[in-house]
A = this chain, B = another copy of it.
């Protein structure tokens, strides 16, 4: 594949010929390293302009791997996810001033795909990797990539030693959200979530439980709708509906993720209980304040997560000595808009 005739791009040599200097002088002018006589410099810039010359960063990188033209590979579950998109965004903003571009790729939650993606990044000799990993083991990156190339883990614990981690505090967020409903008088607070054995939902479950425990609420009082693996929104909707129709139904709900919230909210809507059952979601939604009642949520800050990842990358690339592994916790915030402030007293069905 990829044939077709291409007129080759002008090279530094072409510029040199036109300007009547050596390629080295062109290199100096274009890269800004080294001193060049203003007169020659002008001639070179003139030739650059005439030919529309732009340096070839691939060639540049071979000779000088730490010079201009670096890139960072970002591997997420899917770039479509607003959370991942936010990370990409923050990362991009942090990297741009340093001349680093961003490769993005989606693993679709498949370890094999993630592996292939990371290797593809490596074959392009990226300066760093940033990954929301779905793998349990990254030893295939050793010693090829690690510890030569910085790897930053986002939203998951690092699975290679010495690597930086940037994450929200999932347990604390769930704690705060649950506690918030407890303060509004609730005890029968349901946890509704899917994928509860993996990161980061397991941590959110832990935070939820810990909030209950702090308030002296037993597990018996707190209904759980927890799917171990991936489920579609319809399953959550159905399950929530059943939970709400069962005896001893909850007066409040903690939705473990925004996709879980969709099912929860649909079920509440089905039963016309949106205004009776308190509910708080982990992760915010664009339309949160347009819903009725408006949605209360614990909001992560994906852009900030991405930005901090970028900072870690830059720091490592600039470091002259080995750095300690850092764990960065990016705070989120509980945004109270209404749905979480429904008081327990409102629920008197009998």
- State whether the Cβ of A265 lies closer than 8 Å to any Cβ in chain B: yes
B56, B103, B119: the one contacting A125 at CB < 8 Å is B56
Contact A286 B285 (CB under 8 A): yes
A54-100 interface with B by 8 A CB criterion: 54-59, 61-62, 65-71, 78-82, 85-86, 88-89, 92, 98-99
- State whether the Cβ of A348 lies closer than 8 Å to any Cβ in chain B: no
- State whether the Cβ of A104 lies closer than 8 Å to any Cβ in chain B: yes
Which partner residue on chain B sits nearest A74 by CB separation?
A: B104
Which partner residue on chain B sits nearest A108 by CB separation?
A: B93
B125, B289, B292, B318: the one contacting A58 at CB < 8 Å is B125
Contact B92 A86 (CB under 8 A): no
Contact A52 B2 (CB under 8 A): no
B101, B106, B262, B291: the one contacting A124 at CB < 8 Å is B101
In the bound complex, residues from chain B placing their C-beta under 8 Å from that of A69 are 123-124
In the bound complex, CA of A333 to CA of B99 (Å): 41
Contact A317 B58 (CB under 8 A): no
Return 30 A-B CB contacts under 8 Å, by A number: A1-B318, A3-B320, A4-B317, A4-B319, A9-B125, A52-B143, A52-B144, A54-B123, A56-B62, A57-B125, A58-B58, A58-B62, A59-B62, A62-B62, A71-B103, A79-B79, A79-B104, A80-B85, A82-B82, A85-B85, A92-B106, A101-B121, A102-B103, A102-B104, A102-B105, A104-B104, A266-B289, A285-B286, A285-B287, A292-B292
- State whether the Cβ of A127 lies closer than 8 Å to any Cβ in chain B: yes
Which partner residue on chain B sits nearest A290 by CB separation?
A: B265
Which partner residue on chain B sits nearest A52 by CB separation?
A: B144
What 3 pairs across the A-B complex have the smallest Cβ distances? A2-B66, A52-B144, A2-B317
In the bound complex, residues from chain B placing their C-beta under 8 Å from that of A103 are 71, 101-104
CB distance from A291 to the nearest CB of B (A): 6
- State whether the Cβ of A46 lies closer than 8 Å to any Cβ in chain B: no
Contact B269 A290 (CB under 8 A): yes
B55, B105, B285: the one contacting A101 at CB < 8 Å is B105
- State whether the Cβ of A122 lies closer than 8 Å to any Cβ in chain B: yes
In the bound complex, CA of A127 to CA of B9 (Å): 13
In the bound complex, residues from chain B placing their C-beta under 8 Å from that of A285 are 286-287
CB distance from A47 to the nearest CB of B (A): 14
CB distance from A97 to the nearest CB of B (A): 11
In the bound complex, residues from chain B placing their C-beta under 8 Å from that of A122 are 54
